[in-house]
Structure 1
């Protein structure tokens, strides 16, 4: 059990599989008041959510969205009342859980904290924790070690409570199997379609139908105002790519920071653990450990065999008790102190820890050493370039903004000064829909588009100011071409409108014909349709069926087969003849278990949501709407 605890399986599971809090918009009308929070953003019970705390959370959410959306991210996404309220509700939920964790005296020990940090991949070098990387990552995030560890400790403590609540969601196997079977159930069917095209010759449009449609839907035929622009992007990454670092600078840094490149001594050990689950078991466990030690002393070369036979640590017993190499801070103190006093090959006396009684054999020693300059040169160069770029970008950003503003008739001066390439955009619409905006790359930003379509840019031919499009990334643009908004003339779209109206009417006729034939089949009429080859689908694997068709197929009463159902299908209508209902011939147990787990996860999330709602209901919460609405993401 000791190795399993050392690896902190439970906490790792919580990190990987814990239900995420549903930070959607809660029904908070009953909580929102303009009094009680003072100058703070909100109060939760006796605690406050301050303006700096809220601003920090807003920036953190902004950074998360920037990383997730990349070039599609726009800073103004969080500059709305609903978005800010969503962030605040997340903070309130976290605060409620922290208060409840404190009431339940939940804590995260130093050992658990160290173990979690050591397992973060970004802080590892060749699979092992690297203090150098740890410090470098924190510097890049602008955080001190105490700040990060305090935040992580708080998060781990809160997640203990969340995990406990989530684990309380019990799902009976029969219940889970019922839901799983519904997802896996397959229905075999044939299909017959009534395509709209077959009814086109029956459609007669009124003489003024196309004109009437055009007059009533002119917005569909508008050509949006558009511009084509040239632009410059100034980024910290670009400055970093231009930065150079001399060998003397690298060597100087290395000599003055050698302590950062010290690799601590590591030791490898094997152990035999006899567990004592309660005070009453201690005496018997210790006596057994003493007996095992006597056998080990007689045949020390068989330590691995004795570990496989006697050790109760499921994580290491099967490997002969081997715990691998580890440094100081990885084990509980009593165990660690013993290991680092032993000589290689030495076997300890019986040692007591919080997990039981250990017999330890030291099997290897890796002496501490200082990594050579050649080993760390690339990291040092990267760090120094990053530091230089961070400093230079702060200086360059202001100068860049001033230059594109003061020399507003051209981007060329700024391009030459900052060694940037002037780029050109495609045609940009004034008010693109969300899908179009997502494809605009650096121009997926309302402020930039607003600036480009301003009178200053179009008529004055001036540069826009520099806008932040990503962290440490600025863009300034200039209009090259402009096309005013217009409406396509009726004659140019008449044919398209007539085709659309005919197809719509034909689709209605196809549906009417299909529904009439479906009714005949359901009443026992002759089944002489030229059905398609047999197909099958499940809720999990609907094949090429539309959601409407899937709903129709799986809502059908299949007590008596064949059963007939119908649904819209593209530009037409389809009848489905269900001939067989069953389960897959080969049931993948792993897949079935994954579905059970997903169902359990959904119920656990609902359990957690209900728990947080209950905390909200019994806690006085005040939201200062005036302060909240005045904040903008930074």
Structure 2
């Protein structure tokens, strides 16, 4: 309901009549739910956050998430760390309320009444606040007036504090223009690449040099400690396999949720060919791109396979798959592309389409209208969901049973058989892969890697989505392989090092030979000019290289840099070919939006700094961490 407040309570004009609403407030009072706490989750400067309030806020957040994402599961909520996020939010609110009290900032009953009076949901047919409507709406939201009013008051107090803290944020026209120019400036470079692979291939390597390099760098080949685990996973997912869901329950869930969960929107399947055109490109660059896309269209019209042309011509990652983009719905692609793709019949190829990325040719591979998925299509999905929801209640009981069996000296095989779960064996795991593969937390990784081989770990290991009961089946200690084992890798590494050295030497010699702003004649024919690029470091022809882009944006136009730059492809010498800054017209078109965006960012930064200061000065203690698990 607070979202309704944010959407409608924008005016604080004086209201003429508050008679009815005043009756409601007198009857219930603001914050009238003064029940005694049963348990404390945390304290903030000794003020408790009680479990009742924490659970209530957590449930509200879950409901909000499920409204936006109907298919979200309990496991997904756990992965989001929603409980900890809710506690952090409640801590921040408490700190802010305490600071507001210290400063004497309050929300008066009159302000609170005015805010609630602005909410259309509480009005009758004549547009006046109606107490009965008020009670009915809150009852439908599973809340009561006192609780709701306290939430509104907290929300208003938070906005008052935010306004006070950020009141000093100012953005001048000059500042905004400078930031816009900085962000939107584009450059192109003239460059010569001294390819690493060519110089590496030409490098002469002696066996003595290989052995010496290995002796100096053997730590680079260290193989970390590895363990192999036999384990039983205890989670909603693993327990769900043993839970029978009757067909009637599946059919009932489908009937109740088909329209919200199982509606497949209109979608198309397409391939495309992209010829990139940087934003702000000059006419010559645009014409060149138009010629390339027109040539690709002519090849396809002449009978060449679209996928083959895409693999050769397209300038994005889909080229390796023949331009395949798979299925997508409306809103997933930029508007010009979407309009063209959804306007094609299966098998048709579009005319060239211009988007912010460049020119596209699009081929439709399929088109499906919006439809509701049939029960047969989603039966297994529903069965799994319902089974996991039931299994959540069994996780801790199953874990307790497993731990009793561990205490009784039972093996992992026996535990798996007793609980009717699968006994699994991992591949040899490093600390990193144990976390990535099994989802183990750092403390549990340490526990698993400190146990001797053959040990059944008597503590359950928290893993993604649940727990595992594990036996350390095998331990391989950290080791450094001998030279003969890694000789091939040493050869590659030494060649790369020597190739980089030779490439850098050649580049330095080229720069030393610059006369009157020109490279030595032998290199002049190797100069290439890049398309325009931005500060993000994506340089067409050279890949993503932020360091090289930074060098280009700090260099003087028309002058060869006096320093060569190492890149993954080799060594580059460069000069700035062109600098394109946004025009006055471009600035005027977005000036107000840019200023608002920068101002909002400043305010957010100021408010975060304020909260950080409150945290630093305050004392926050978590009293019951188990609630957050």
> Which TM-score tier does this pair reach, normalised by the shorter chain?
0.5 to 0.7
* Residue-pair matches, total: 426
State which of 500, 510, 531 in structure 2 corresponds to 1:535: 531
Task: Name the residue aligned to 1:337.
Answer: none
Task: Name the residue aligned to 2:440.
Answer: 444
Change (3 A) 1:602 1:613: same
Change (3 A) 1:182 1:92: same
Q: 3-state SS of the aligned residue for 1:192?
A: strand
Distance 2:504 2:200 in 1: 13
Q: 3-state SS of the aligned residue for 2:426?
A: strand
Query: Is the counterpart of residue 467 in structure 1 residue 461 in structure 2?
Result: yes
**2:41–2:622: 8 Å Cα contact kept in structure 1?**
yes
Task: Name the residue aligned to 1:369.
Answer: none
Q: What is the CA distance between 1:459 and its match in structure 2?
A: 3.0
Distance 2:117 2:482 in 1: 70
Provide Cα deviations, 1:488-526, integer angstroms capped at 9, x if missing partner.
111222342243133213313322332342354375345
Q: What is the CA distance between 1:414 and its match in structure 2?
A: 3.5
Task: Name the residue aligned to 2:428.
Answer: 427
Q: 3-state SS of the aligned residue for 1:231?
A: strand
Distance 1:233 1:117 in 2: 51
- TM-score between both structures, scaled by the size of structure 1: 0.52
Change (3 A) 1:416 1:504: same
**2:552–2:575: 8 Å Cα contact kept in structure 1?**
no
Q: What is the CA distance between 1:211 and its match in structure 2?
A: 3.2
Q: What is the CA distance between 1:541 and its match in structure 2?
A: 6.5
Q: What is the CA distance between 1:614 and its match in structure 2?
A: 7.3
Q: 3-state SS of the aligned residue for 1:439?
A: helix
Change (3 A) 1:595 1:475: farther
**Structure 2, unaligned runs of 5 or more:** 12-39, 63-71, 123-135, 253-382
**1:74–1:469: 8 Å Cα contact kept in structure 2?**
no
Distance 1:243 1:550 in 2: 59
**Structure 1, unaligned runs of 5 or more:** 12-39, 79-83, 120-128, 139-143, 252-380
Asked which structure has the greater RCO (Cα within 8 Å, sep 6+), the reply is 1
Distance 1:622 1:6 in 2: 29
Q: 3-state SS of the aligned residue for 2:508?
A: helix
Q: What is the CA distance between 1:428 and its match in structure 2?
A: 0.9
Task: Name the residue aligned to 1:109.
Answer: 112
**2:184–2:581: 8 Å Cα contact kept in structure 1?**
yes
Distance 1:198 1:160 in 2: 65
Task: Name the residue aligned to 1:568.
Answer: 566
Query: Is the counterpart of residue 214 in structure 1 residue 214 in structure 2?
Result: yes
Q: What is the CA distance between 1:596 and its match in structure 2?
A: 4.7
Distance 1:589 1:502 in 2: 54
**2:510–2:519: 8 Å Cα contact kept in structure 1?**
no
Distance 1:450 1:231 in 2: 16
**1:73–1:444: 8 Å Cα contact kept in structure 2?**
no
**1:503–1:571: 8 Å Cα contact kept in structure 2?**
no
**1:409–1:463: 8 Å Cα contact kept in structure 2?**
no
**2:223–2:480: 8 Å Cα contact kept in structure 1?**
yes
Q: What is the CA distance between 1:403 and its match in structure 2?
A: 2.3
Query: Which is higher, the Rg of structure 1 or of structure 2?
Result: 1
**1:226–1:483: 8 Å Cα contact kept in structure 2?**
yes
After superposition, residues 67-216 of structure 1 pair within 5 angstroms as 94-102=93-101, 103-106=104-107, 109=112, 154=154, 157-166=157-166, 168-200=168-200, 208-216=208-216
After superposition, residues 511-550 of structure 1 pair within 5 angstroms as 511-521=504-514, 524-526=517-519, 528=521, 529=524, 530-540=526-536, 542-543=538-539, 544-550=543-549
**2:196–2:500: 8 Å Cα contact kept in structure 1?**
yes
Change (3 A) 1:225 1:563: closer
